[in-house]
């Protein structure tokens, strides 16, 4: 039977919630990324790396680069958690922005998280404001995303266990 490890990092708790849902729903061990890979990593066959997307960058990317050699011997899926509405081509976009130069075969899955400008730390508020100004034209190609990134008042919460279905399906594949 596959032994499964889930690593996560979470700025505001959305990815942590998805990691907890995974822990409750499938047989796996959940760890925070700061713990690093365990010494007996060869006893695991599949690993899920979960994290938020910040200015296009997947939160687990540095972790994946650091452990690329070990992860290269395993089956790896990424659970990227963002504010963008799910649409065709989104996982491909995330792959291109983050993983195309990484010599790892990764399955990219997406889950929608939260967005609450008022609850953000100062540096993140600045990043959102600056990103909104710089990428105004690009963002406006996706009107919903444009509205959210410019919204300073609404506490959005899209977390939904159904987003985990593709990851669970990937876990069930036996090779
Ligand atoms: C500074 C900042 C930048 C963000 N950039 C993006 C982005 O580029 N794309 C996206 O889909 N979501 C973006 N988000 C939304 C986060 O990915 C979302 O809040 C997610 O739920 C974060 O998960 P976490 O709380 O587990 O870290 C951004 C949020 C912040 C605070």
Which CATH number belongs to the domain containing residue 109 in this structure?
3.40.50.360
Substitution site in 55, 57, 79, 83 for ligand 1 pocket (most atoms within 8 Å of beta carbon):
83
- Same-domain status, 82 and 133: no
92 and 149 both lie in a single domain? no
Number of domains in the chain: 2
Q: Which numbered atom of ligand 1 lies nearest the CA of 127?
A: 1
Same domain, 60 and 81: yes
Q: What is the pLDDT of residues 8-55, one digit of tens each?
A: 999 999 999 999 999 999 999 999 999 999 999 999 999 999 999 999
Mean pLDDT over residues 106-121, rounded?
98
pLDDT tier at 1, thresholds 50, 70, 90: low
CB of residue 149 inside a 6 A radius of ligand 1:
no
Give start and end residues of each alpha helix (H) in the chain: 14-25, 61-66, 68-71, 90-98, 122-134, 136-139, 143-149, 165-172
| 85 and 162 both lie in a single domain | yes
The tokens for 2 are 């596959």
**In this structure, are 61 and 95 located in the same domain?**
yes
Helix (H, G, I), strand (E, B) or coil at 11: coil
pLDDT at 25: 97
Residue 54 domain boundaries: 4-113+158-172
pLDDT for 171 beyond 90: yes
Say if residue 108 is in the same domain as residue 134.
Answer: no
Q: Are 127 and 96 in a shared domain?
A: no
Residues 101 and 121 in one domain: no
Ligand 1 atom at minimum distance from 57 CA: 8
């Amino acid at each position: 039977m596959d032994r499964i490890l889930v690593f996560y990092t979470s700025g505001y708790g959305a990815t942590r919630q998805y990691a907890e849902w995974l822990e409750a729903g499938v047989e796996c061990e959940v760890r925070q990324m700061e713990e690093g890979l365990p010494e007996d990593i060869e006893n695991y066959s599949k690993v899920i790396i979960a994290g938020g997307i910040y200015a296009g960058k997947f939160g687990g990317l540095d972790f994946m680069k650091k452990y690329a050699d070990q992860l290269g011997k395993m089956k790896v899926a990424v659970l990227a958690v963002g504010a963008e509405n799910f649409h065709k081509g989104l996982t491909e976009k995330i792959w291109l922005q983050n993983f195309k130069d990484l010599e790892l075969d990764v399955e990219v899955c997406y889950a929608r998280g939260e967005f609450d400008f008022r609850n953000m730390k100062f540096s993140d508020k600045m990043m959102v404001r600056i990103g909104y100004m710089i990428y105004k034209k690009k963002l406006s190609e996706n009107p919903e995303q444009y509205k959210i990134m410019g919204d300073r008042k609404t506490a959005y919460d899209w977390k939904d266990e159904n987003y985990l279905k593709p990851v669970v399906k990937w876990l069930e594949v036996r090779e």
